Each structure stands twice: as C-alpha cells, then as structure tokens.
Structure 1
Amino acid sequence: MQLRKLVLPGLLSVTLLSGCSLFNGEEDVVKMSPLPTVENQFTPSTAWDVSVGSGIGKYYSNLHPTADAGVVYAADRHGRVKALSESDGKEVWSVDLSEKTGFFSSNLPALLSGGLTVAGGHVYVGSEKAKVYALNTSDGSVAWQTTVAGEALSSPVVSDGVVLIHTGNGMLQALDENSGAIKWTVNLDMPSLTLRGESAPATAYGAAIVGGDNGRVTAVLLQPGQMIWQQRISQATGPTEIDRLSDVDTTPVIVNGVIYALAYNGNLTALDLRSGQIIWKRDLGSVNNIVVDAGRIYMVDQNDRVLALSTDGGVTQWTQSDLLHRLLTAPVLYNGYLVVGDSEGYMHWIDPDNGHFVAQQKVDSSGFLTNPIVADGKLLIQAKDGTLYAITR
C-alpha cells in the first residue's frame, strides 16, 4: 500500500486508494449533538470583523491568525496575507502570494496551509506546494522563500535562529531565520496511512520536541539537528486501519521540565523532558492542541468531549459532553474562561473550574476549524470563509 494522507470526518474528507479497505462492515453514522441550551451569564460582543480573502473553504488547513506589537496577521488559502490593526481591524498592508500566470489568466493559488507565525520582523507561512515564505512585517514584501521537503502543514516555529517546519512526508527541517537556507533535515518516519496534519514543534533548552505520525515524540537538538531521544506514546492496534492510526499531530506543551503530548488514538502522556521517559499516561486521544495552565490540562478529545485533567497523574477533574461531534476547535483560555468554536460557527464559553457553560454566541455561518488566539485583550478567530473576528467580553 502506498503512502496516504487521511482526513477523518472531523477533518472533512477521506482520500483512498482502490483495493485498500479502511472500514470493516457498514460505516457508522455519527450524529452531531444538538446545540445545548445555555443561559448566558454575559454577552460577548464582536469588536470588529474583517474579510481576509476567501478563507479555506471545504479544505483542511491549519491557517490561523497571529499577532504581535499591535498588529494581527491573517491569510487565506489562495495566497492573500493581510496585516490589520489589533485595535480596530483596519488594514495596514495586504499582499498576494498566488502565482501570476499571464495578463488574461487567473492566478494559481498559493495553497497556504501552515501558519501564521510572527517573529523577528518576519511573518512566516507555509504552503501545500512545499514552500515556506518569510514576509517583512513592515510592508508584507517577501524577505525569502524556500522549497522544503514536502507540504508545509504545521505552523512554522522560530527558535535559536532557525525556522522549524514539519512537512507532510514526515521531515523536520530547520531553515536559517535570515536567509531561509535549509540547515538540517531529520526524518521522523511515518506509516503508510496517516492523518492529514503535522505536529508543530515545541522548543526548550536548545531542543525541539515534536510529535510524529508513527506515534512517537522526538527530541532534536536545534543547532546540529541531532536526535536526542524518541518515545512511543501511541501503539497502532485495532481491527481497521482507522483504529490503527497513531499520529501525534498536536503541539507538545512543556511546563516545569515535563512534556505533555497527545496522540490521535491515545494516549495523553506526560514525559520527562531530559530523558523522554513516561511519567504517566491516560487513554485519551485527539488532534486538537491542549492548554496547560495552573496545574490543569484542558483538551477536546476526538469525540469532542471537553475535559480538564490534573497535571499530576492526569486525573479527570470534569468532563463536558454536551458538544459531542460538533467538530470543535482546540480550546483557549480567555478572560478567565475556556472557549471553543464549532463547525456551525458557535463560540462556547465554559467555566474552567467545573466545565459548566457560561455563555454561547453565534458568530459565523461558515463555521470554525482552527483555534482562537488571544491578543490585546481580544479573542481572535478566523472562520472557514476567511472572516476574521475580534471578540471581547
């Protein structure tokens, strides 16, 4: 069987090869939970909203906004990148990275997919065409662009003078922050069938910690590109190929020398940063990034349950199950609340102490896929149609 990338029902569609069976028997029908009834304790409001091109449409994409020094940066899949004022959403600059094909022809889309990340005077974004762009934050002009080993599906990560890219074919590459030159490449290995998405690395103490499609977490020294250790946190088991998916597509979180990592079919695992040894693990899985704060881990699992667990042993503190199969975004902590978006364009506000709903709002009809971010006291989230919202409490 050839190498394949799979996008599960929570990630839009499935790519198959003839003669390769993924399911045994009839395909199960998963029904979205009805919208829960919530008595709002407050009313969130939209400070501003701006269209950023055509969004991502029906495609899976990790495009999401980022912000720095009073400016928000956002992009669409076609190639439009915009810089906007954090305070009112007014445009600072706009560039188009699509390829010019001729005077009477439409431009070829850039297929932007990984990012955005801002650091050191540059905005970084990757594409499905295996290109990584560095744009100057001052005017959006291209400082450099580099062709990498495969689709740039993860968000670029900048640390110690390098830009880290985890490509769709399982390569972790380090690009020179100033020139874009490839400094080293590490092959993280991957099975024949994987989820469409890659873990963005976390960095600490001169090392990159990254999840792989083979169910392992790997530590790599940033300067020489040397692998320090690997630890398996998910074992491929089960009767079908779907059951045997073991991708670690989430970004590891490092707190006080402990790595918290999460695989699709389990597990949520705490690892020692120095040795990679497992401290504890729980049978929980997801492709959504986790939040670690004040001794708690907040996560959305693969069935869209929202959970809070203790960092000491992973003990479940509460579970919110009223949003099952609503295709939630990763959670974010904002203004003392845990917030998630869903595929129908609702934002759900949850009390982080007990998991109870405190507010709910309909924001966008096209729905949400990627997680919100917090900037300048606002909650920023981009809808599938490209509309970027700044929400305040």
Structure 2
Amino acid sequence: MFMKQPGNTERFTIVIRCSLLLCVGLFVSTACQADDWLYARGTAASNGVAASPLTPKPTELWRYEAPDTGFEATAVVKDGIAYLGDVNGTFHAVNIETGKAVWTKAFDDSGFLSAAAIDGDHLFVGDYNGVLRCLAMADGTERWQVELSAELMAGPMVHQGKVLATTESGHFTKHEADTGKQIGEFVIDAPLRCTPTIVDGRAMLAGCDSKLHAIDIETFKEVDSLEIDGPTGCTPAAIGSRIYFGTEEGSFFAIDTGKSPFEVLWKYVDRRRRQGIRTAAAVSDKLAIYGSQGKAVFAIDVTTGKSAWTFPTRTRVDSSPVIAGSVAVAATQRGKLHLIDLESGEETWQFDAGNNFVASPTVVDGKLLIGNTGGILFCFGEQK
C-alpha cells in the first residue's frame, strides 16, 4: 500500500505535537515524583518544604488506628501510599486516599522511632535495637538486615545506590542498597541523631560533639568541619550550599558550606527563650522555621538572620515543622497541630489530637499526615 509522506508543514506539525506530548508526559511524571515524600524531611536537602500547598483551614479526612502502640516515626510517601513504623515493631503501609491498610508487617524485638527512606521499590529503615533493614514496598518482605553499633534515632538517606545511616554510638555508615554490605564508616566521639543531608556530593552531619561535619560520600572521608556552640541532634536543612540548624544552646545557625573553611553567615538567639532546639528547620528562600524547647515556633529571615515572628505554643516542640504553600505546620508535645500563616505568623487553624506529637508532619498532594503517640495516623486536607 502506498503511504503518503508528510510534507514540510505536516512534518513540522507532527514534531510539535510529539514535543507537546513529551512535555506533558514529563510534566506529569515530574509532578508525581516531586509530590512524594521520600525521606524524613521530604528530600535529600532535608528542607521540609512540601511540593503541594495545604489549605489554611483543613478538615480531618480520615484516621488510621494501630492498637496498643504509638507512632514516633514520620511517615514517608510514594505513589499515594504512606509508610511508617510504630514503637512496638510493626511497619504499616496505608493508602492516603482511603486511610486503609495496604499491608502491615511485624518484626520481633524491634521498634521504629524514625522515618524510613524510599529508593526505587524498597524501604530502608532503622530501629531502636540498631538493626538497619531493607523492605519491599509491595508487601513489607525483608530483603536484608544488618546490625549496627547502636540504635538508629534518625531516618537513613539513600544517595546513588548507597544507604547512609547514623547511630547513637556516633557511627556514620555507608551500605550497598542491594545487599546491605557496609562499605564505609566515619566515627565521632558522641551520638549522631540527625538524618544525613546531601549537599554537593557531601553528607552534612550536625553532631552531639558540637561540630558540623562534611563527609565526602564517595571516599567517606571528612572534607570539612566547623565548631558550633553546643551539641545537636538536628538534621541540617539545605538551600543550595547554605544549611540551617539549631543547637542545645538555643542558637540557630546559617552556614555557607560552599566555602572552605565553612562560613557562619549568622547566628540567631532568642534571649527570652534560650532553650534547646531539637527540631529540624523548614527552610524556604525567605524563612527558616523551627520549634524549640522554649515553647515556641520561630521564623527567621534567611537573608538577615533577624526574627520575622514568634508563635507561642505553651508547650515544647519536638516535632519538626513543615512549610506547605502559605502556611507552616507545627505539632507540639501536648498533641496540638497548628497551621501558621507564613507572612503574619498568625494561626489559621488548630487541632487537638489528645496525645503527644513526636513525629513530624508530612504533606503530599494537599494532604497533611502525622502520627501521634496514641497510635493514630491522621490525615487532613480539603474535603472534596
């Protein structure tokens, strides 16, 4: 059969149509990937900024209850499924549209206090007995496990096929994601309680030895460090080469890691509430937001290092805040959730969950997910 060959105009039209289809496909794919929450603080930069906005006045969409246990681990999300472990050693996969369990998997003599990390179709999670596991996302089947030197208090990170984990004994380890084989180790003389933050091929670790450490991920050698004014377990938040975190001395730092030696850009201290900072910060190009043992949430201008606003909570804040659209999400030890307007610092909404929040919020697809110590995973959003 004779087929008519397209002329120049038709060829141009075909190319444009194909290009448009390709762009649309790429946009959809990127949007889906961007709205996943793959690590404790969302991305490898650990800056706690959601890809999708959250309505300033959400409603409760559902609650998932795990009996006789509690949630202290932050949920991670991929393709509409939330994954989190409970303090008694059961791991849960929950559909974020329905609030129904997809699967649960119990592990003997275990308990999960920190977020998992997602890479491909696997979950990587540590427990309070020092076991790092790889689980299949499909059903929770354990692919491998390795015993580390002490409990894992922070979620792991995955970078280019390598799993990075910190332990209470001060060990920072690198493992093959396929097998769990340990292929690197860096040690400090104090606990490491932060998730590694990735900046330009380096893992940034804020340690209980009162230092910021930069570890080259390829060689696993320390390439830079900086003395800070106190110990910290806060996961650093990165915007480009600049990182932000607080200390037990109540100081909040902005540091340029693009320079060697590192340069402290500014340090903020609230003189009235100078108590320890134990949350990671949520950082945008305008504000750094963190909670404190001083019973408040602070917003600091990232350019000037000056206070933008302070939101009193009347109780300690151990849960790390999240920025979602025009609001910050903060959760307290008394079990209250607050949405705070980023511009004014005024509350737009609150919810009393009844039990403490240690886990941090997760925001995906316009939904706010957070578990409490009473064993309830809540989902809030806009009722459709």
TM-score normalised to structure 2 length: 0.79
Give, in angstroms, the shift of residue 314 of structure 1.
Answer: 0.9
> After superposition, where does 1:238-387 map in structure 2 within 5 Å?
246-274=230-258, 275=260, 276-283=262-269, 285-321=276-312, 323-327=313-317, 329-362=319-352, 364-387=353-376
Cross-structure match for 1:230? 225
Q: Aligned in 2, Cα 1:306/1:205: closer, same or farther, shift over 3 Å? A: same
Match of 1:50 among 56, 59, 64: 64
Give, in angstroms, the shift of residue 379 of structure 1.
Answer: 0.2
Cross-structure match for 1:162? 162
Does 2:227 correspond to 1:213? no
> After superposition, where does 1:187-198 map in structure 2 within 5 Å?
187-190=187-190, 198=193
Whether the 8 Å CA contact 1:345–1:366 is kept in 2: the answer is yes
Give me the whole-angstrom Cα distance separating, in 1, the residues matched to 2:90 and 2:146: 18
For structure 1, the residue ranges without an aligned partner over 5 or more in a row are: 1-40, 99-108, 235-245
- Between the two proteins, the alignment pairs up a number of residues equal to 321
Give, in angstroms, the shift of residue 302 of structure 1.
Answer: 2.3
Give me the whole-angstrom Cα distance separating, in 1, the residues matched to 2:119 and 2:381: 25
Give, in angstroms, the shift of residue 160 of structure 1.
Answer: 2.0
Looking at both structures, which has the greater relative contact order when contacts are Cα pairs under 8 Å and sequence separation is at least 6?
2
Larger radius of gyration: 2
Letter in 2 for 1:133: R
CA deviation profile, 1:120-177 (whole Å, cap 9, x unmatched): 2111211111101110111110011111121111111111221111100111111111
Give, in angstroms, the shift of residue 313 of structure 1.
Answer: 3.0
Give me the whole-angstrom Cα distance separating, in 1, the residues matched to 2:105 and 2:347: 40
Letter in 1 for 2:267: K
CA deviation profile, 1:88-146 (whole Å, cap 9, x unmatched): 12221111111xxxxxxxxxx31222322222211121111110111011111001111
Give me the whole-angstrom Cα distance separating, in 2, the residues matched to 1:258 and 1:347: 29
Q: Aligned in 2, Cα 1:313/1:233: closer, same or farther, shift over 3 Å? A: farther
Give me the whole-angstrom Cα distance separating, in 2, the residues matched to 1:229 and 1:326: 33
Whether the 8 Å CA contact 1:113–1:125 is kept in 2: the answer is no
Query: Which structure dedicates a bigger proportion of its chain to helix?
Result: 2
Whether the 8 Å CA contact 1:54–1:76 is kept in 2: the answer is no
CA deviation profile, 1:212-263 (whole Å, cap 9, x unmatched): 10111100011211100110121xxxxxxxxxxx222111111132121221
Cross-structure match for 2:198? 203
SS of equivalent to 1:114: coil
Q: Aligned in 2, Cα 1:280/1:154: closer, same or farther, shift over 3 Å? A: same
The alignment's C-alpha RMSD in Å is 1.9
CA deviation profile, 1:20-78 (whole Å, cap 9, x unmatched): xxxxxxxxxxxxxxxxxxxxx97531111112354348xxx5x1211011111121111
Q: Aligned in 2, Cα 1:328/1:78: closer, same or farther, shift over 3 Å? A: closer
Task: Point out 4+ residue stretches in structure 1 off by more than 4 angstroms.
Answer: none
Letter in 2 for 1:259: I
Letter in 1 for 2:349: A
Does 2:127 correspond to 1:117? no
Give, in angstroms, the shift of residue 206 of structure 1.
Answer: 1.3
Letter in 2 for 1:314: G
SS of equivalent to 1:353: coil
Give me the whole-angstrom Cα distance separating, in 1, the residues matched to 2:324 and 2:265: 29
TM-score normalised to structure 1 length: 0.77
SS of equivalent to 1:270: strand
Whether the 8 Å CA contact 1:370–1:382 is kept in 2: the answer is yes
Whether the 8 Å CA contact 1:212–1:218 is kept in 2: the answer is yes
SS of equivalent to 1:360: strand
Cross-structure match for 1:149? 149
Q: Aligned in 2, Cα 1:117/1:53: closer, same or farther, shift over 3 Å? A: farther
Whether the 8 Å CA contact 1:149–1:171 is kept in 2: the answer is yes
